[in-house]
Amino acid sequence: MPPHDLARLARQLDGRLRATSADRRRAGRDASPLVGAPRAVVDPAHVADVVALVRWARRTGTPLTARAAGTSLDGESVPVEGGLVVDFGGWNRCRSIDPVERVARVEPGLVNRKLQHRAARYRLFFPPNPGSADRSTIGGNVATNASGPRSFRYGPTRAWIRGVAAVLGTGETVAWGSAAPKRSMGPDLTSLLVGSEGTLALLTEIRVGLAPLPARRLGVGVPWDPERPWAGLIGLARGPDGASISALEYLDPTAASALRGSVAAGRGPGQGLLLLEIESSTAVEERRGLEAVERIVRAAGAGGPLRRFPDAEALWRRRGSAGSAIDPGGTLRVREDVAVPRARIDELRRRLDRIARDEGVPMVLYGHLGEASLHPNFGVDPTSPKGRRIRAQILRAAQSLGGTASAEHGVGAIKRAFVPAEIDGPGCRVLRELKRIFDPDGILNPGKLYPPADRAPSRSPSATAAAGPRTG
Ligand SMILES: Cc1cc2nc3c(=O)[nH]c(=O)nc-3n(C[C@H](O)[C@H](O)[C@H](O)COP(=O)(O)OP(=O)(O)OC[C@H]3O[C@@H](n4cnc5c(N)ncnc54)[C@H](O)[C@@H]3O)c2cc1C
C-alpha cells in the first residue's frame, strides 16, 4: 500500500484514521497470544465511510480487520496480515427497543452489559452472557457466535439474531432479516454472518431478539468431587426436574479456590464446584426449583451443602473472571474451548487428564458443563512447540469424540487447521465459495477461519502487510 494511498484515504475519511505507534500496537492485539502489525486504525463515522473504505481496500488490495472490544481468544481480531483495523468501538448506541416485538436495534460496538441494562428497563434481557460481558460487544458476540452460562437454557448468540445491516466485501450495503415474527423464504442469509468473524461483511447494525426477564434469579453453588462423573448430572438437569435451571457450570478445585469472595466457600479440601442458576416467577416457585436442584445434585452424588447466591449477575461476573483468577500474573497458558456430545463428557475429561499427565503440565478445568463445553487451561507457553502440541491434542480429543475444536470462541488464526476435521470436503468448498461471493478480493480479515491450504482469493502482493502472527 503506497503511503499516498493512505493519505488519500485519510482525506476521504475526514482524518478518521489513526496511525500512532500506540494506536497500532493496541489494535494489533486481542486476548490471544498473537500479535499483528496494522498500518493504521480507522474509526468510521457512518455507513458511507465503511463503504468508501471497502472500495478503497479493494482497489489497493489492503486487508481490513474489524475490531470491537478485542477480547477474542484465538486471534479473531488480530490483523495477522497487516493492513487496516476498522474500529467499531465507537458504534456503541442502542438505537431502539421494541418491547412488543422484543427486538433491539443496536450498533455493533454496543457492550453486551450495556444492552442488558437498557433491555432491563422493559423487563427484557439478551440471553447470551459471555464471561466477557462487561467488555465484549454485540458485534463481536455475533461475529464469534458467543455463548455464556445462560446458553444452557437459551442457546448461543445465533439463536437471538433477527437481522443485520452490513457492508459486504464487494462494497454493497445489505439489510437482511425480517421484521415479521416468522418468515419462510429460503436459507437464512443473516445466519451466514453469525460466526463469520468479520470475513464476509462488516456489520453496521444488528437486530437482536430479547427474552422476558424472569422475576427472580437465584444462583446456587454445590461442592463437587472432581472424580465424580458428569453425564448423569447433565441428564438429570435436562430432565423434567431441571425445568427451572438456566445455567449449569463447573469449576475444578483450583479454579473454584481462585474465585474471589464467598463463592467458593463451603467446600471441603480438594473439592470442585458446581454453579447453577434457577429462574422463577415467585418465591414459592423458586423454593420448588431449589428443592429440585437439591434432588438432582444428590441423585448425581453431591453430598455437600447448597449455597445460595441471591445476586446471580454478580455470580456470573465472578465466574467470568475465572481465567484471570487462576492466572493473576497473566502468564502464558494454553486456554482452550472444546465441546463434545453430552454423553461423552466424562470421556473427554479422562482424555484431558491423560494429556496433562503425559505432558507433565498442570491443567485447570472449568466450563459450561450443561452444554458439555469445557475450558481446559494448561500452564505452558502456547507459542512453544510443547504448547502447540498440547493444544492440538486437546482439539483432536474433542473432535475424535464427535465434538468440536471451537465451542464458543471461534476459529481465528489459531484453529484454522482443525476445521477440515469437522467440516467435510463439500462443506469446506461451500464455505470457500461463500467467501469468494461475499469478498471477491479476500480483503476481509484474511488469515482467519478458512483452512490454510484452501485460502480464498489471494490479494495483490503489494497488499501483503508487514507482520504475521507471532505464533500459529
Ligand atoms: C475474560 C474473558 C472471558 C470470555 N468469556 C467468554 C465466554 O464466556 N463465552 C464466549 O463465547 N466468549 C468468551 N470470551 C471470548 C470473547 O469475549 C468473545 O469471543 C467475544 O464475542 C468477542 O467480542 P469483542 O467485542 O471483544 O470482539 P473482537 O475481539 O473485537 O472481535 C471478534 C471478532 O468479531 C469481528 N468483528 C468485530 N466487530 C465486527 C463488525 N462490526 N463487523 C464484522 N465483524 C466484526 C472481528 O473481526 C473478530 O473476528 C471471553 C474472553 C475473555 C477475555
Domains and CATH numbers, the chain: 3-87 (3.30.43.10), 94-212 (3.30.465.10), 216-323 (3.30.70.2190), 331-420 (3.30.70.2740)
Q: How confident is the model at residue 261, as a pLDDT?
A: 65
pLDDT over 90 at 269, yes or no: no
Q: How confident is the model at residue 433, as a pLDDT?
A: 95
pLDDT over 60 at 429, yes or no: yes
C-alpha 89 – ligand 1 centre gap (Å): 12
pLDDT over 60 at 471, yes or no: no
Q: What is the pTM of this model?
A: 0.94
Q: How confident is the model at residue 318, as a pLDDT?
A: 87
Burial class (CB in 10 A: 0-12, 13-18, 19+), 185: exposed
Q: How far is CA 126 from the centre of its chain?
A: 15
What average pLDDT does range 260-284 have in this prediction?
86
Band the pLDDT of 1: cuts 50, 70, 90: low
Of the two residues 79 and 264, the one the predictor is more confident about is 79
pLDDT over 80 at 42, yes or no: yes
Rounded distance between C-alpha atoms, residue 234 and residue 252, angstroms? 16
Helical axes 47-60 vs 3-12, angle rounded to 10°: 160
The ligand 1 site (C-beta within 6 Å) comprises 30-31, 65-73, 76-77, 88, 108, 130-132, 136-137, 139-141, 143-144, 146-148, 197-198, 202-203, 320, 323, 408-410, 445
Please give the share of the chain, as a percent, with pLDDT higher than 90: 86
Rounded distance between C-alpha atoms, residue 221 and residue 202, angstroms? 41
Q: Whose CA is nearest to atom 15 of ligand 1?
A: 72
DSSP code string of 81-115: T-SEEEE-TT---EEEEETTTTEEEE-TT-BHHHH
Instruction: Return the beta strands (E) in 325-392 as ranges.
Output: 334-335, 338-339, 363-368, 373-378
Q: Whose CA is nearest to atom 53 of ligand 1?
A: 71
Nearest atom in ligand 1 to the alpha carbon of residue 88 is 41
Q: How confident is the model at residue 3, as a pLDDT?
A: 66
207 φ/ψ sector (left φ>0, alpha ψ -120 to 50, else beta): beta
Q: How confident is the model at residue 453, as a pLDDT?
A: 65
Summary mean pLDDT of the chain:
92
Q: How far is CA 386 from the centre of its chain?
A: 25
Q: How confident is the model at residue 465, as a pLDDT?
A: 30
Band the pLDDT of 86: cuts 50, 70, 90: very high
Burial class (CB in 10 A: 0-12, 13-18, 19+), 87: buried
C-alpha 140 – ligand 1 centre gap (Å): 4
Which residue type, as a one-letter code, is found at position 284? V
Q: How confident is the model at residue 259, as a pLDDT?
A: 82
Band the pLDDT of 467: cuts 50, 70, 90: very low
Rounded distance between C-alpha atoms, residue 98 and residue 214, angstroms? 18
pLDDT digits (tens, 9 = 90+) for 151-190: 999 999 999 999 999 999 999 999 999 999 999 999 999 9
What average pLDDT does range 304-319 have in this prediction?
91
pLDDT over 60 at 381, yes or no: yes
C-alpha 337 – ligand 1 centre gap (Å): 14
3-state secondary structure of 12: helix
Torsion of CA 393, 327, 274, 230, to 10 degrees: 10
pLDDT over 70 at 469, yes or no: no
